[in-house]
Amino acid sequence: MAYSEEKLRSILSAHFELIEIRYMKEQEQDNELFGQSFLWASLWRKK
């Protein structure tokens, strides 16, 4: 399932304040961190 930035805002903004939204940073396969550049990463604060 994929959502646009606008769709994420419309779904979550009633209950959360958006702090930051961006695409993930790509990570190497052998890295213990996960990151795919086509996926969103976001930070929200509860209202």
**What's the pLDDT score for residue 2?**
81
Share in percent of the chain as helix, strand, coil (round to 5): 15, 30, 50
What is the C-alpha separation between 8 and 14, in angstroms, rounded? 11
**What's the pLDDT score for residue 1?**
61
| Count: domains in the chain | 1
**What's the pLDDT score for residue 21?**
94
Q: Tens-digit pLDDT profile for the chain (47 aa)? A: 688 999 999 999 999 999 999 999 999 889 898 999 999 899 999 99
Q: Which domain holds residue 37?
A: 5-46
